[in-house]
Amino acid sequence: MDSGGDAILEISDEGKTIVAYLGKNKAENNEIMLQLQSKSKTDKREVMLAIDENGGRFDGHNKMGEAVVRVGVVSDGGGVVDTRDKFGYKR
């Protein structure tokens, strides 16, 4: 349980680094999200599946922590796919 009494699940690498989180997305909208992160301190790979204000979305980050893909629902109810190459340019 978090401080507000909501259920969360955190999985850590021997108590050192949180590698999986299921619970509120406190940074955006308090909706549910599932986040998986690399256990390495230098490798910033991460994927996130979340509910946002328009529906759902999937984000993927490379080992440098840069967003390389986002798939989701946009405000008009349509879909969006945003991909970036290793230099950060949209494809």
Residue 3 lies in a domain: no
CB count within 10 Å of CB 17 equals: 12
Entry pTM: 0.77
Residue 78 lies in a domain: yes
29 close to 53: Cβ distance less than 8 angstroms: yes
pLDDT, residue 36, reads 94
Range of the domain at 75: 9-83
Cα 3 to Cα 43: distance, rounded to the nearest angstrom: 30
Residue 53 lies in a domain: yes
Residue 77 lies in a domain: yes
Q: Looking at the 3D structure of the chain, how many domains does it have?
A: 1
pLDDT digits (tens, 9 = 90+) for 35-91: 999 988 889 999 999 987 788 999 999 998 888 999 999 889 899 999 987 776 776
User: Pick from 69, 71, 66, 65: which is nearest to 38 by CA?
Assistant: 65
